[in-house]
Chains A and B, each alone.
Chain A
């Protein structure tokens, strides 16, 4: 079945640093990729949607300069949390979808902890 690989799975870093998370579709071309954030015991909240070669569309309340998204190819999207602070600590999950009404497939998530 379709596989989405997300890396790293866990990162701990100091406040003020920038962190990059990668999301790859391993066996299909992902025309659209999604980035979600999940707080403990809560559901997934969509942060942004990106189509290959286009700028990402951010949900209301999500700072585009804080969460930089790049979707440069049909198999790779990256989320960079710039100048991360403790309140950015969360579980980030990416998802990828091919064309033609295909379902979304999810990565295993990245646990981000900012000290």
Chain B
């Protein structure tokens, strides 16, 4: 059974700092991995999608990497801003079920 774990559960940093969020998954048989952002009381916004054949994706100040063999992904946020404060969710689509399986999320607070 695929399990997705995110570390840390919460993170607080001063504005301007570069930071890394970690995600690990137990079964490397995945179609792709996605990083989402969720603001309080809101739905999910897709940030980056990495296909299983890819190693990284970049969008603006965000860079996500995927190491399928070790079951790990990282989300790198450069020059963090208070507007980046949110919960970041990692999710994989398992090959055997086709379902999106989520981690517990990392709640980020960027202080001005």
**Chain A interface residues toward B at CB < 8 A:** 4, 6, 34, 42-44, 46, 49, 91, 93, 95, 101, 103-109, 111
Q: Are B43 and A109 in contact (CB under 8 A)?
A: yes
Please state if B99 and A44 are interface contacts (CB–CB under 8 Å). no
Other than the given A104-B100, A108-B42, 19 more pairs (CB < 8 A) read: A34-B99, A34-B100, A43-B102, A44-B44, A44-B89, A44-B102, A46-B99, A46-B101, A49-B99, A93-B43, A93-B44, A95-B100, A103-B32, A103-B46, A103-B49, A106-B36, A106-B44, A106-B45, A109-B41
Chain B interface extent, by class? 10 to 19
Please encode chain B, from 72 to 103, with 1 for each CB lying within 8 Å of some chain A CB and 0 for all others. 00000000000000000100000000011111
Which residues of B in the span 31-45 have a Cβ within 8 Å of any Cβ on A?
A: 31-32, 34, 36, 41-45
Total contacts A-B at CB 8 Å? 43
- Which residues of B does A touch, CB under 8 Å? 31-32, 34, 36, 41-46, 49, 89, 99-105
Q: Which of A4, A101, A105, A108 contacts B31 (CB 8 A)?
A: A101
> Cβ of B103: which chain A residues have Cβ within 8 Å of it?
43
Chain B residue at minimal CB-CB distance from A32: B98
A110 to B101, CA, bound (A): 20
Q: In the complex, what residues of A have CB within 8 A of residue B42's CB?
A: 108-109
Measured between C-beta atoms, what is the minimum distance from B48 to chain A in Å?
Answer: 10
